[in-house]
A and B are shown apart, each in its own frame.
Chain A
Amino acid sequence: MSRRARLLVLAFGGCGLALLFALAAFRLPDFGGTSHPYGQRTLPNAIAHHTPNVISSINFDQRAFDTLGEELILMASALAAVLILRTVRAEQEDAAGKHAYGPAQVFDALRITGYALLPVTIMTGVYIVAHGYLSPGGGFQGGVVLGSAIHLVYLSGDYPALARIRPIPMFEAGEALAAGAFVALALAFAGQVTAMNAVVGLEVGSAVVLTLAKFFEQALLVRKDT
């Protein structure tokens, strides 16, 4: 299809979508109004179960079964990314020690800041996971912070240092264990918000580390066999 024809099809579909969306939007209740029937039904449950952060209460208590699905989507997609980015036959992988950096030059100031921020970032991640039932945060958010924090070692050190502090088999085992534990918690003990936050934090952190590890390998280590 030529670009012109494609734009014409897009204009037709876009106008239709815009029209239907506008028609629907003007039938919605007033913006900022007080009618939130579903939200208001969740509040007494959250308070009765002593989970001040209502969003954690919804995700891990009232809708724990739905979060189970979300959790398995996360695991399946991390697994798929690892599979897609495997080393294929015509390629070979260099040892982690052979390449120190990617193409970017790292400044000394950035390096020192990275080392200084590493413990602070890990602390923040653990705090966000552990305090998720009480204050804004939770396993998903804290897990991303924890998973990204480890990569400060790459920014401030080099790739061999990063490869040393994140042994991939351990994170693979952590991912699988956390997913299994979450299934058990969601099916049998829904409402254990703190435990579920911790398990989700572990799983999300492992998934981030594993996926980024594969991207790192592709960028730094894998090359075509010549």
Chain B
Amino acid sequence: MSQFLYLIPGWILLAGVYGIVTSRNLVHAVVCLSVAQSATYVLLLTIGYQRKATAPVFSDIKPTRNVVDPLVQAMTLTDIVVGATVTALLLALTVQVAKRRGTVDPDDLRSLEP
């Protein structure tokens, strides 16, 4: 039943979503979103794993050697880049919210009024 390993990313995703929903601080919520997103990295790498295979870099191994799936690793790289940009953008918004409203607790940010 090696499929149980595929459940790990689901667990990470749910942990991140729980953190966002119960968050009392916007910075904490942004970090929880990063946790939820890291579930996708784990899922991609889990899918690409192959037993007795090595990293897909052929500079010092024979081309006939078994390697793990390089496509999902390339997608993970894309994923990380997009995740980092989203985090930067959300933190910038948090800075402005803190300045305008004097609080970063999402529960105190009821209305859109300044």
Contact = CB atoms under 8 A, between A and B. Distances in A.
A135 B50 contact: no
Measured as residues with beta carbon below 8 angstroms from the partner, the interface class of chain B is 35 or more
A226 B30 CA distance: 31
B109 interface: no
Contacts, number: 145
Interface in B75-99: 77-78, 80-82, 84-86, 88-89, 91-93, 95-96
Contact of B17 (A10, A22, A59, A204): A10
A115 B18 CA distance: 42
A36 B78 contact: no
Interface stretch (A13-21, A153-161, A186-194): A13-21
Interface of A: 3, 6-7, 10, 14, 17-18, 21-22, 25-26, 28, 30-34, 36, 38-40, 42-43, 46-47, 52-55, 58-59, 63, 66-67, 70, 73-74, 77-78, 80-81, 84-85, 134-136, 138, 140, 144, 204, 211, 214-215, 218
B59 interface: yes
Chain A interface main SS type:
helix
Contact of A81 (B69, B81, B89): B89
